[in-house]
């Protein structure tokens, strides 16, 4: 008897999202009776363990007793007395061997930092070596990227951070994407060709967001963390290939003022390998976040923006706040995928995976070229759904995306996807056009403290608004991420929920993502990040399809050769962490008392690139 896709999918956990302010459960519209929160399913016997907010630089020691809950969950086995006896004897022997190894063998340092620049990666690794937290390392690397890649990110921009604490089995989203000034209205930007550069600038959230992350998870002092990045700006760095290419593009445009003085001094554009110092940025970082948001630096930004026709004020900067949220998550077999909630476009990733899961449940022995076409169509449909996203603080209907992430919708699209597979015609789905393709600074960290961090930050377009303050801060072009009439005349499709409003955060494709085990803390972990923009969603989807549905090894990823050109520009960084000895914790409870989990497991962090397009 054949089994329908709906029947098979009903066995899977549906997707969920719970905000910290209120409990919102998103049931699968195809089977409402079968809904279960993934949080509850992973640990129904206990209330969630809340993170305690510590002051910056806290050195509170780790308490081994906190691992008791993990031992109880991993070790509950119904076995005969004889098996208990054998297991106990075996456990004693293995325990002695492992304890001897722990005490006699130096702890191996786990290399777990990936970023877009080798110097920033090295800074993050040094923080871990100095017993800083994974979040400390991510902060240093992200600030460093804002210095060595000033065309991509910086303190004049914003971003999103995901932090997963495997000890507490808890993930938080720290949203520090910028917001629109209070005095900015759509009327001011109606004639796109006449809009002054200052009107593109939103409130920068980068520095305050990283400081909030440090308050929650930091180990080293804030000054120690920031000074490491400041040293890069003061001492200088060599221009990378990415920065050199962006500067070369500037030469073809009419630019003036400080931006030209810094990157095209005396009319000569900086080339690959040129040496560049930015001492003003070092002073900005060392002045601290208070001076940035409440002191003279905020006055400096206000003055510069108003001089360029903008409306950003010190009050806008002073009143900016960081949002700490829970992720949107969905279960696929033994893994849970976590992404930021709106105004991030993470919903699109979940929607695409749900469509693809329904196809892989029904079909067997799927050819790679067929898989590529499925991914193409699934992404097209998912991006159509993104047109319904925006800032939920300004439109409550944005949080009502149950149908958008329903696993049942994938089964309903099965026949249409088959028809697409057999046809040479492109999909008829209409994708809402998005104003900009965000450049993104990416950092991923997995340290020995069992924190997993993924950060994405951006100025929106290259060099943001092209406005540079006296201190060297390059200000963002955040407002271009909103939609307003006449912004893109050639693409009339619009997203009204992403319309420009005072104080609002725009829809963003800054989309760090994580994969965590379905059941408690035992299993494999992965952190992902891709360059921002609707076309970049394909790389993350492709990797997850290989792992979740095709069961490919981490170095045997799906080729992008079958995807169309706009979906096959492969550029992403991934860290994969495996705990090969965690299985011992099911038998040997005492192991958790000797050392943090990551030291016992000797987990390995591996950074690997995706396969390039096939020739």
Residue list, annotated binding site for L-glutamate:
481, 533
- Which residues are annotated binding-site positions? 481, 533
Buried b (16+ CB within 10 A) or exposed e, 308-322: bebbbbbebbeebeb
* 228 Cβ neighbours under 8 A, 6+ residues apart: 123, 126, 127, 140, 144
3 state SS of 135: helix
What one-character-per-residue DSSP string does 5-36 give? HHHHHTTS---B---SSS------TT-GGG--
Euclidean distance between CA atoms 392 and 390, whole angstroms? 6
Euclidean distance between CA atoms 444 and 161, whole angstroms? 10
Catalytic residue flag (residue 371): no
CA 366 and chain centroid, separation: 30
Q: Compute the chain's Rg from CA coordinates.
A: 25
Euclidean distance between CA atoms 368 and 390, whole angstroms? 34
* Continuous segment of H or E residues that includes residue 439: strand 439-446
Euclidean distance between CA atoms 236 and 182, whole angstroms? 37
Q: Say how many C-beta atoms besides its own lie within 10 A of residue 241's C-beta.
A: 9
Q: Say how many C-beta atoms besides its own lie within 10 A of residue 13's C-beta.
A: 21
Q: What angle do CA 484, 488, 490 make, to 5 degrees?
A: 140
Cis peptide leading into residue 343 (ω within 30°): yes
489: left (phi over 0), alpha (psi -120 to 50) or beta: alpha
Secondary structure E strands in 71-195 = 113-115, 158-165, 170-175
Euclidean distance between CA atoms 15 and 22, whole angstroms? 17
Euclidean distance between CA atoms 183 and 317, whole angstroms? 13
Catalytic residue among 440, 508, 541, 560, which?
440
* 372 Cβ neighbours under 8 A, 6+ residues apart: 558, 559, 560, 561, 562, 563
Secondary structure E strands in 467-524 = 513-517
Residue ranges of the alpha helices (H) in 105-162? 118-129, 134-148
- Measured CA to CA in angstroms, residue 386 lies from 124, 353, 431, 437, 529 at distances of 34, 14, 8, 15, 19
3 state SS of 229: helix
Nearest by Cα to 475 from 155, 13, 50, 110? 155
Under 8 Å between Cβ of 165 and 66: no
Structural tokens at position 105: 């063998």
Euclidean distance between CA atoms 517 and 74, whole angstroms? 13
Euclidean distance between CA atoms 314 and 330, whole angstroms? 40
Buried b (16+ CB within 10 A) or exposed e, 364-377: eeeeeebbbbbbbb
Looking at the annotation, which residues are catalytic?
Answer: 440
């Amino acid at each position: 008897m054949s089994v329908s896709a709906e029947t098979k999918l009903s066995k899977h956990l549906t997707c969920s999202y719970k905000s910290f302010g209120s409990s919102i459960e998103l049931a699968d519209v195809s089977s409402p009776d079968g809904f279960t929160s993934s949080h509850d399913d992973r640990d129904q016997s206990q209330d969630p363990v809340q993170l305690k907010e510590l002051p910056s630089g806290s050195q509170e020691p780790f308490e081994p007793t906190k691992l008791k809950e993990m031992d109880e969950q991993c070790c509950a086995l119904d076995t005969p007395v004889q098996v208990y006896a054998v297991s106990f004897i075996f456990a004693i022997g293995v325990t002695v061997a492992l304890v001897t190894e722990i005490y006699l063998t130096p702890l191996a340092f786990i290399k777990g930092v990936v970023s877009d620049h080798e110097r920033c990666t090295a800074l993050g690794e040094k923080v871990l070596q100095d017993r800083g937290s994974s979040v400390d390392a991510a902060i240093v690397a992200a600030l460093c990227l804002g210095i060595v890649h000033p065309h991509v990110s910086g303190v004049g921009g914003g971003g999103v951070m995901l932090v997963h604490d495997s000890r507490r089995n808890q993930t938080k989203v720290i949203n520090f994407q910028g917001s629109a000034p209070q005095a900015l209205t759509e009327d001011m930007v109606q004639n796109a060709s006449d809009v002054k550069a200052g009107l593109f600038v939103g409130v920068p959230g980068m520095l305050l967001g990283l400081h909030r992350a440090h308050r929650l998870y930091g180990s080293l002092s804030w000054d120690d963390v920031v000074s490491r990045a400041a040293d890069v700006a003061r001492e200088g760095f060599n221009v990378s290939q990415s920065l050199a290419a962006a500067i070369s593009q500037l030469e073809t445009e009419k630019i003036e003022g400080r931006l030209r003085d810094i990157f095209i001094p005396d009319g000569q554009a900086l080339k690959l390998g040129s040496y560049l110092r930015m001492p003003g940025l070092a002073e900005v970082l060392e002045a601290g976040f208070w001076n940035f948001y409440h002191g003279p630096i905020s006055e400096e930004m206000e003055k510069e923006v108003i001089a360029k026709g903008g409306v950003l004020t010190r009050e806008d900067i002073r009143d900016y706040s960081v949002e700490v949220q829970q992720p949107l998550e969905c279960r696929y077999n033994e893994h849970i995928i976590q992404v930021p909630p709106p105004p991030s476009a993470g919903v699109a990733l979940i929607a695409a995976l749900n469509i693809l899961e329904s196809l892989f449940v029904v079909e067997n022995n799927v050819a790679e070229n067929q898989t590529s076409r499925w991914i193409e169509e699934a992404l097209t449909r998912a991006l159509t759904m993104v047109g319904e996203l925006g800032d939920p603080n300004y439109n409550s209907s944005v949080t009502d995306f149950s149908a958008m992430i329903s696993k049942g919708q994938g089964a309903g699209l099965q026949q249409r996807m088959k028809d697409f597979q057999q046809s040479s015609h492109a999909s008829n789905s209409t994708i809402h056009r998005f104003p900009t393709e965000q450049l993104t600074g990416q950092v991923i960290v997995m340290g020995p403290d069992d924190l997993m961090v993924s950060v994405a930050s951006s100025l929106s377009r290259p060099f943001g608004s092209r406005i540079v303050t006296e201190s060297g801060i390059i200000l963002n072009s955040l407002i271009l991420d909103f939609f307003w009439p006449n912004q893109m005349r050639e693409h009339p499709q619009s997203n009204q929920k992403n319309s420009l409003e005072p104080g609002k955060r725009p829809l963003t494709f800054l989309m760090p993502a994580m994969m965590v085990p379905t059941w408690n803390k035992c299993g494999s972990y992965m952190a992902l990040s891709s360059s921002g923009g609707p076309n970049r969603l394909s790389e993350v989807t492709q990797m997850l399809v290989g792992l979740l549905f095709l069961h490919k090894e981490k170095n045997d990823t799906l080729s992008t050769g079958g995807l169309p050109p706009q979906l096959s520009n492969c550029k992403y960084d991934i860290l994969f962490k495996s705990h090969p000895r965690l299985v011992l914790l099911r038998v040997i409870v005492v192991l958790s008392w000797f050392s943090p989990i990551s030291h016992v497991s000797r987990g390995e962090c591996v950074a690997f690139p995706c396969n390039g397009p096939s020739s």
